[in-house]
Amino acid sequence: MKSLDELFAGVKTAAIAGHIRPDGDCVGSCLATYNYITTYYPQIEVSLYLQPIPNIFKFMKNADKIISDCTADKEFDLFIAQDCGDLGRLGDAAKYFEHAKKTACIDHHISNQSFADENYIFPQASSASELVFELIPRERLTKEIAECIYTGIIHDTGVFQYSCTSEKTMEAAGVLMGMGIDFPKIVDQTFFTKTYEQNRIMGLALVKSKLHLDGKCISSIITAEEMREYNVLPKHLDGIVSQLRVTKDVEAAVFLYQTDEENYKVSTRSASYVDVAKIAAKYGGGGHVRAAGFSVAGDPEKRLNEIIEDIREQITD
């Protein structure tokens, strides 16, 4: 695949979907593709399926067209999975992928096994949004599409501070900025600005944090009860694990939050050499070398100790 346009020959109906609990890159890349199709292929009936997105991303064009209910039975000519490493991560939208006449996947997760008919998989890319940028002819970029792509890139690069940022990433960002987008506002309002409740729960996570492995690892756990007390949802916990990771001398950060009575979502980050994607794969999750996630069940302290041992093995090596 060298451009999005290659996918649309003979297509009358199309669907786009990203991973469950969509983040900035997922939302931005999916909306960029949706807007591209509606702008240049109005004859195609396209649907975008995502779980409810954070309010900070609703400024992007056609965010109000996102469908979160996958109960309807539909068969599409084309299904495009984006920012999604495997079929299971599509959630309820996976049934549309399975019944589509043709499937495509645009992704940058190292764990992706090219599960679609057409695959554009580059683990070294900063984001799925950067890959969408590569697949769109420059002359067909619009300001609205540029806003979506830029939003996705800054969220998966931590505003260009993570190691996944490359020269190509910066060149793409420059082109997007040249489209007249309000890039300072996008960065401030979608990445840095937090609600009072978000700042409070982050403060709690930092206060509860513990150092391990001679200060090379840091962890924190937030329970469902604490989330209720602080009036936050899982989507409001974005950024906590990254804040833990920037603690001086820390190589790896582990953040757990409770999703139901027995289960915890785990987010991991590393600075330079611990491969957290390898650890995530052990627990049935996935992601990137420096940022990955998975879920565990049972006593969170016991599960945390197991994860720390996995980190210890890499630090020792």
Quote the pTM value.
0.91
Helix (H) or strand (E) holding 70: none
Each residue's pLDDT tens digit, 131-140? 999 999 999 9
Q: What is the mean pLDDT of residues 259-282?
A: 95
Output the six-digit token pair for 129. 């949004």
Q: What is the mean pLDDT of residues 96-117?
A: 95
Each residue's pLDDT tens digit, 64-78? 999 999 999 999 999
Residue 223 has pLDDT above 80, yes or no: yes
Output the six-digit token pair for 72. 């309807």
Residues near 129 by Cβ (< 8 Å), separated by ≥ 6?
25, 28, 29, 32, 83, 148, 149, 150, 151, 152, 153, 156
Residue 255 has pLDDT above 90, yes or no: yes
Bridge partners for 87 per DSSP: none
Q: What pLDDT is attached to residue 317?
A: 61
Each residue's pLDDT tens digit, 277-304? 999 999 999 888 999 999 999 999 999 9
Q: What pLDDT is attached to residue 257?
A: 98
Q: Cα–Cα distance between 279 and 302 in angstroms, integer? A: 16
Each residue's pLDDT tens digit, 157-214? 999 998 899 999 999 999 999 999 999 999 999 999 999 999 999 999 999 999 999 9
Q: Cα–Cα distance between 140 and 41 in angstroms, integer? A: 12
Residue 316 has pLDDT above 80, yes or no: no
Residue 111 has pLDDT above 90, yes or no: no
State CA 149 to chain mean position distance: 13
* Number of Cβ atoms within 10 Å of the Cβ of 310: 18
Mean pLDDT of the chain: 96
* Structural domains of the chain in order of their starting residue, each with its CATH number: 4-192 (3.90.1640.10), 196-316 (3.10.310.30)
Q: What is the mean pLDDT of residues 148-165?
A: 95
Q: Cα–Cα distance between 234 and 224 in angstroms, integer? A: 9
Q: What is the mean pLDDT of residues 4-27?
A: 97
**How sure is the predictor about 33, in pLDDT bands with cuts at 50, 70 and 90?**
very high
Answer for the pair 291, 301: CB distance below 8 angstroms, yes or no. Answer: no
Q: What pLDDT is attached to residue 235?
A: 86
Dihedral sign of CA atoms 54, 293, 117, 176 in order: positive
Residue type (1 letter), 196: Y
Residues near 234 by Cβ (< 8 Å), separated by ≥ 6?
21, 227, 257, 259, 265
Query: Which residue's entry shows tokens 């995502």?
Result: 50
Q: What is the mean pLDDT of residues 249-277?
A: 96
Answer for the pair 79, 66: CB distance below 8 angstroms, yes or no. Answer: no
Q: What pLDDT is attached to residue 287?
A: 85
**How sure is the predictor about 144, in pLDDT bands with cuts at 50, 70 and 90?**
very high
Burial class (CB in 10 A: 0-12, 13-18, 19+), 131: buried
Q: What pLDDT is attached to residue 6?
A: 96
